[in-house]
Amino acid sequence: MTASPAKAGRARFDVGQIVREHRARLESEHRLTREQKRVLTDIGQCRTAALGGHLDTCRSCGYEHPSYNSCRNRHCPKCQALAQEAWIEKRRAQLLDLGHFHVVFTLPAQLRPLAQHAPEEVYNALFRAASSTLLELGQSHFNATLGATFVLHTWTRDLRFHPHVHAIVTSGGLARDGKSFYRHRGRYLFSVVAMRKLLCGKVLAALSRGYATGAFAGFADFADPAAFARLVNRLKELKWNVYAKAPFRKSQHVVDYLGRYTHRVGIANSRLIDVTGDRVVFRTKGDGLAEVAPVEFLRRLVQHVLPDGFHKIRHIGLYASSSHELLALAREQLGMPPAESPPRLSWEERLLALTDREVRRCPICGAELARTGLPRSARGPPEPSTAEMLS
């Protein structure tokens, strides 16, 4: 694979091109789910002639530029920037003005094969266990209702399978009677040991219910009727991984931090360092690099495709969608004004705010561009240098 010279701010290599060149071999070597196949199709077609688009023409200076439609798949590395900004604006309007803790709940390695077999069941068990752990400790320690936002990630920086949930948690909560707000002044929210024990018990209870109802049917490791019980006993002996950081002191820092996590996918085009016919090199952490064969790169990538309709971002307690009245009381007790909905912006307005780029104006002479629709094309996609509008 070769790449055209990249324009300023544009990634040199494209995951979509890797998909187009190596998907057939991936499918010949590995069985993919329907969801994984659809994600590969969307990534491979994103911002190419296959999805149609429009041609911008400047009648003043003759400038022309084709822009192709986005696939809008939540797993696509090109399609999350504007969605992320819209989400951040909404959360900024609702966030309570106080410190927030960052807590990470990680699924033990022994449960990863089961998570790959039955992702929805296992991810839901992790979400619900982490949620009830925080809410229960908030009630028992503070006699108050906390607020938290959770985001599921399933990858490491080298795209290996590593399911974990990030939680941003209010440093305090609304008293049960709604007449006061408890502010937690400590450096740590709760004992990590207490969170580990609760998380373990709750996840295993949820998985036991799933096993009893046949949710893991077809999982090869459970062909032996005693295998599930042995797994549960091993997991009870583990020290589950719960990581807690010191709190963010300002709500703006929370929003900025959340923005890096909520709509992130396994890898961004900007992390691709070199791509050839037999290797993909990408950045991991710091100056670290990983090098894998293209098919192995795609195999790792599709591990992180979520089930259809699965919500990887969730809110509990004061931040739950059903808790508008509690959130309003909490804002009142904190001396905050009522929450206001952010203004509705078009995608052009969001793009202008994000990149300072006016897509309706000619970049050469500043005249207004004329726009002509382009139909979907069955021809091969164009080179990334002309297909991409926003990397």
**Secondary structure in 3-state letters for the chain:** CCCCCCCCCCCCCCHHHHHHHHHHHHHHHCCCCHHHHHHHHHHHHCCCHHHCEEEEECCCCCCEEEEECCCCCCCCCCCCHHHHHHHHHHHHHHCCCCCEEEEEEECCHHHHHHHHHCHHHHHHHHHHHHHHHHHHHHHHHHCEECEEEEEEEEECCCCCEEEEEEEEEECEEEECCCCCEEECCCCCCCCHHHHHHHHHHHHHHHHHHHHHCCCCCCCHHHCCCCHHHHHHHHHHCCCCCEEEEEEECCHHHHHHHHHHHCCCCCCCHHHEEEECCCCEEEECCCCCEEEECHHHHHHHHHCCCCCCCCCCEEEEECCCCCCHHHHHHHHHHCCCCCCCCCCCCCHHHHHHHHHCCCCCECCCCCCECEEEEECCCCCCCCCHHHHCCCC
| Per-residue confidence (pLDDT) for residue 250, from 0 to 100 | 66
- Phi/psi for 387 (5° steps) reads -90, -25
Q: What is the pLDDT of residue 1?
A: 41
Count how many Cα atoms sit within 13 Å of the Cα of residue 144 in the half-sphere of its side chain. 23
How far is the C-alpha of 280 from the C-alpha of 294, rounded, in Å?
Answer: 6
Q: Alpha-carbon distance 308 to 97, whole Å?
A: 34
Q: Judging by DSSP bridges, how do beta strands 242-248 and 370-374 pair with one another?
A: unpaired
Q: Output the six-digit token pair for 49.
A: 């002639």
State which amino acid sits at residue 35.
E
For residue 390, what pLDDT is reported?
33
- pLDDT of 291: 98
* This prediction's pTM: 0.87
- Token look-up 């399933």 returns 154
Cβ pair 63, 364 in contact under 8 A: yes
**Cβ pair 45, 71 in contact under 8 A:** yes
Shortest CA distance to 77 belongs to which of 123, 34, 44, 36?
44
| Res 340: pLDDT | 76
What pLDDT, on the 0 to 100 scale, is given for residue 20? Answer: 97
Asked if 103 and 242 count as a contact pair (C-beta separation under 8 A), the reply is yes
* Residue (of 84, 46, 5, 67) closest to 256 by Cα position: 84
| The predicted structure's pLDDT at residue 80 | 72
Q: How many Å apart are CA 231 and CA 237, to the nearest integer?
A: 10
> Chunked in runs of 10, what are the mean pLDDT values of the chain (391 residues)?
42 93 98 97 95 93 92 88 70 85 96 98 98 97 95 96 95 95 90 97 98 97 97 97 80 68 83 96 95 98 96 95 93 90 66 67 91 75 37 32
- The pLDDT, as a whole number, for residue 186 is 84
At 345 the pLDDT is 65
